[in-house]
Each structure stands twice: as structure tokens, then as C-alpha cells.
Structure 1
Amino acid sequence: MKWTAHIEGGPMRVNHAAVSIEDKIYSFGGYCSTDEYKDWQPIPVHVLETATMRWSHLNYNQNDTDVPFERYGHSAVAYGDKVYLWGGRNNAVQCEILACFDTKTLQWTYPRVTGQVPFAKDGHSACLIRNRMYIFGGFEYHTDQYSRELHYLDLDNMDWKCVSTEGVAPSHRDFHSAVGFEDRIYIFGGRGDLNSPYNSQEEIYCPQLFIFDTLKDKWIIANPSGVWPGARRSHSAWLNNGYMYIFGGYNGLSRTHFNDVWRYSIKNNHWEHWPVMGTAPCKRRRQQCIMYGTKMFLFGGTSDMHILDFSPSLKTLAICAVLDNKLDQTCLPWDI
């Protein structure tokens, strides 16, 4: 495993949401401190062509008034050719309206939903299990409280349900990570409050890993073996070959940013710090990490992009060696 590429440019965003569909990565919205960000403008979509490593700004095939407003702290899941975006906020309001982006027609729609719609929130997590989009946690500005509720939306009939669970649920939190593997959801990290669920500005951080069994509607405290990652929020998590990886994040109590990689074995319930060759990204939070093929694409938090290659080819390793050692490139073939 090796960090094989560091590419400047791309969307300079934080707390954005992203998915991969076919050979493209779609990044939705996110906050930036430049004049580019305006609360009520249409949410921007940036598309990465994984073959060329080039970003482009997507142009919609519809009026701006039919497009969701700019936001951050939202979630997105891919289901077929469509992306379902939920939650998030701008500097004025939060949103609980479901939006659907069709990657074939490049148009947004607002599916009619029924059932127990969650309160508007940001900093929640979303992951896909079968045909269900599960939403957990987040911060509700309507109640000024952190959440520990679990909802799912059936993406076939568009019905929301608040899940009545068994077991010990994770504490109220936001900006945790969640990944879905087979019939289970794995929740790690996040920020809570000493006077949970209320927001008293006294942050707490939990290093425990929680598992939700969607067949039994039951929470499980994992208590993994091995060395655990430090507690953090605003990190990223992804799956590869039966392992969950996490990168980066921030702990507000110690005022520490991270750029470490940790690996959790789902089969063995075991954590370990995972050394990676190459030049690591700078310490950061609020980025996105999206797996495509044997590569993980990391972007956001700053304006650059890094690629973590789980199976670098001999050609890739040779190119890295040329760059690392500042060798003459004029004699190389044009396609390298």
C-alpha cells in the first residue's frame, strides 16, 4: 500500500459529500471560505474522471431554481445511477428534504416521501444496506441537541422509519463515520457533549467502535482487540477487502489534527495502526475518502487530492521512484 499521487487543484471544500458511480467520483457541495460560497446558490457538483485524474464542474440540465441550495454537513449515497442527498445546512438553515440526482440526465428531483422523517440535521452519517439508506446521529439545530436516533429510508418505496433498537446505542454525537458491510453498520468516533444530548460546549470524544445489526435491529459494543485509534471527529472511513480503514480527523480536547491510517478487521474484530509507504497527506479533517477499484481517492480539507493505491503496479512504483529521486524525465515515453 502506497501514497502514489499528490495532485493540486480540485474543489476546495470541507464537510462535502461524495460517492462513486461507475468510473466517476461525484462531490456535492461543502463549505469554503472564499467568495465562491453563497448560501442560497445551487449546490455545485464536481466530477472526477478517475482515468485522467481531472476534475470538472458539472453543468445542470435544468433551471437553478430546481436545484438544492448550497450546503455542508450533508450526506449522500449512491443507489444505481442515482445519488440521494439528505440533510446538511447553510449559514441560515438546516434541511430535511430528500433530493435525488440522476447521473444520466444530470437533473435533480425531489422524491415524495412518507413515514417518520428525521429532524433536519448536519454532521450525521449515511450508509447503504441493501435498499435502505441508514441515517445516524448528527446535530439538530431545531432542538439544539446532538442526536443518537437511527432512521432508514427505503429507497424503493420512499418510506422513512425511525428504528426501535435493542442493545446499548452509541452516545449522542456528530461528525462520526459509518460504513456498511453485508448486514451491519460500523460506527466510529464523533463528537458529543459532557451534558449530552444538550450542547453546553463541553466536548467529549469516544474511541469505542459500535456495530449495528440491521437484521436484528440491535446495537453491539465491539470492544476490539489490538491498539485503538485515538478518539476523533471529522475523519474519513472506507472499506476494502473486509477491512475498514480510517484516516485523519480532529480531537478538540487535545487540539490535535491527524493524518494517520488505521485498519479494522471485520472478521477478527481487531484494530491496528497501518503503516503506508510514500508521502502522506498533511494533517486534516472534514475530507472525503472514496474507494474506486484498488485506489482510494482523498480530497477536501484543503484543495489538493491524494491517491492511496492498495495494489500499485510496477509502472506506478517506477514513476514514484523517478519523482521521489528527482530523476531526468525527458527520456521517458510520452504516456508515462
Structure 2
Amino acid sequence: MTAMLLRTAADVPSPRGGHASVIISKHLIIWGGVTMKLRKGDILDVSLYLLDLQTKNWTRAAVSGPVGRYGHTMTMVHKSKFVIFGGQTDDEFFNDVWSFDLLRRQWELIEPMSTERPAQRAGHVCINHQNRIVIFGGTDGQYHYSDTWSFDLITRKWSELICAGRIPAPREGHAAALVDNVMYIFGGGGVDGKDLNDLAAFRLSNQRWYKFPYVGPAPGVRSGHAMASFGARVFVLGGESVTRTEPEETNCVHVFDTKLIKYSNTNNLKSA
């Protein structure tokens, strides 16, 4: 439960926001994002950056692939492959799926074998479970979504999941983490422009959404934060809010222990 600043060298990425990252073995990999306040005509970085966590050196790989973007998701689906979905530029939203093979250093556009597919969006979340990715929420600039979609990486087919339980309100800029077969989401920006601090769980085994009873002091409202799991614990860090009324330390890490939650076939959860 400590933090340290990594002093890195070589092809260090420029400062940016709205990018996405994955970690595999001893490498942290980032792609996309904007390197300055987005203005019409800005060029988005399409290079892939790999940080060797042992040597602390960055490597830049310039490989032809997706159009530069931000607000996309990036998800490991194999020990040497990740996929990106969605995102936006200054005036366009996407719903394409791209795969990158780390061994071949090659992008591939994955064309869905189904006519059904999610709307173009950014600011959604995505997790990988078994042979599929699952996305929730996001925005296309006009609408905020609360739909849940699954993409089968073997059949290459999208399907909108018919969910039971208490589906979270539409949002974008939220974050997600997977523990066993449960996707937890937290926060984000709502339809009314206000930031949220609710926690919800989507149990993949029965496609049911759950809302939580009071489980102790929660992080303040926010969007654009990061969320990750380690064992049974979920960590929330960072983010920002224009609607927060209470001050909060920007470097505070919030931890939620999912072992304390008992699931049932009702819409609510009980803490152990």
C-alpha cells in the first residue's frame, strides 16, 4: 500500500489526457489521447508506447492502425493481444474494434459478423471476461448511454445484453474493474451534467445489475478517474468534478473490499 514515482527515460510520451493503457508481463502500454487542449485541426498521437517496468525505458512504435482518438477503451484479451473500442476525435465518435498483436507489432481491424452493434461512443468502460469484451455506458455527444453490450472475440458478433436488476443511470467518464465474474463501476458524469459517486455491480453469470446499500464513506463525486482490482479489492484514484462541493485530497486512494459483499437473486446486495 505504497506509491512511488517511476523515473523513466528514452522515448517518453508527451503529456496527454483521454488515453488508455494496459499492462502485460513487465510492460505498461499506452495508446491514444490528446497532448494538449483539443482544438479543431489538432493532430492526435497514433504511436504506441511501451514502458519496460524493469529498465524504466520507453519504446515508441509507429504502426499504421486506427485513427487517433481519445475516450476509447483498451483491454487485454490474450497474453499478447489487446483490443480498443470506440473513442472520439474533436468532431467524430467511433464504434470500431481494433486488435493489436504485440508479437507481430501489427494492428487489425475486426469487422463484426453481426449487423447489431453498439452506437458510436466515448467515455464508456470495457472489461474482458473469458472470450468476450463487455462495455457499458458512454456518450456520443448528444446522448448518454446505459446499455450493456458483449462482443464475442471468437464469433466476432456483438449482442446487447438483456439485463435484470437495477441498471445504473446513463453516464460517461466512469470507471470499471473486474473481480472474478463481477464488473464494478463507479462514478462518471450524468445526463444533467452532474458528477456521480454511486457504485454498481454487474454479475456476468446472471446478467444482473446490483446497487449497493451503505458500505461506509464513499469517494466524492467524480469522472475521468481510474479504477483497478487487486485480488478481491477495488481501488479508485483521481478524477475531477465541477459539481463537487466538499474538498478532497487529489492523491487519495479509495479501497473497496468486495469480499464483504454477498450476492442474491434480488436487486440489492448485503454486506457481510
Structure 2-normalised TM-score?
0.85
State the match for 1:210 in structure 2: 149
Give 1:276 shift: 4.7
Give the partner amino acid of 1:83.
Answer: L
- 1:219 equivalent in structure 2: 158
- Cα distance in structure 2, aligned partners of 1:175 and 1:267: 25
> Among residues 75, 88, 92, which one is paired with 1:127 in the alignment?
75
Task: State whether residues 148 and 172 of structure 1, in contact with CA within 8 Å, keep that contact through their aligned partners in structure 2.
Answer: yes
In 2, the alpha carbon distance for the partners of 1:166 and 1:158 equals: 25
Using structure 1 for the length normalisation, give the TM-score.
0.69
The one of the two structures with greater contact order (alpha-carbon pairs below 8 A, sep at least 6) is 1
What is the total number of aligned residue pairs between the two structures? 243
Match of 1:280 in 2: 218
SS in 2 for 1:139: coil
Question: Contact 1:208–1:223 (CA<8 Å) still a contact in 2?
Answer: no
Residue 140 of structure 1 aligns to a residue in which SS? Answer: coil
1:250 aligns with 2:180: no
1:284 shift after superposition: 0.9
> What percentage of aligned pairs have identical amino acids?
28
What is the CA–CA distance in structure 2 between the aligned matches of 1:181 and 1:77, rounded to whole Å? Answer: 15
In the TM superposition, residue 69 of structure 1 has moved relative to its aligned partner by 0.4
> How far does the alpha carbon of each residue in 1:2-21 deviate from its partner, in whole angstroms, 9 at most, with x for none?
xxxxxxxxxxxxxxxxxxxx
2:105 corresponds in structure 1 to 158
Q: Does 1:264 align with 2:211?
A: no
**Whole-angstrom distance in 1 between the partners of 2:34 and 2:197:** 27
Map of 1:73-88 to 2, 5 A cutoff? 73-88=18-33
Give the superposition deviation at 1:227. 1.7
Amino acid paired to 1:278: G
Paired residue for 2:35, among 90, 104, 111?
90
Deviation at 1:267, TM superposition (A): 0.8
SS in 1 for 2:119: coil
Deviation of residue 245 (structure 1)?
Answer: 0.9
Unaligned runs of 5+ in 2: 37-41, 241-249, 261-272
1:55 aligned counterpart, secondary structure = coil
Q: Distance in 1 between matches of 2:73 and 2:214?
A: 27
Write the letter of the residue equivalent to 1:88: G
Question: What is aligned with 2:265?
Answer: none
Partner of residue 86, structure 2: 137
Q: 1:1-336, aligned counterparts within 5 Å? A: 50=1, 54-60=2-8, 62-63=9-10, 66-91=11-36, 93-111=43-61, 113=63, 117-130=65-78, 131-141=80-90, 144-167=91-114, 168-193=116-141, 203-251=142-190, 253-301=191-239, 303=250, 304-311=252-259
Moved over 6 A (4+): none
Q: Which amino acid aligns with 1:231?
A: P
Amino acid at match of 2:85: F
Q: CA offsets, 1:52-79, max 9 Å, x none?
A: xx3322212x35xx21101010011111
Post-superposition offset of 1:112: 5.6
C-alpha contact 1:298 1:305 (8 A) present in aligned 2: yes
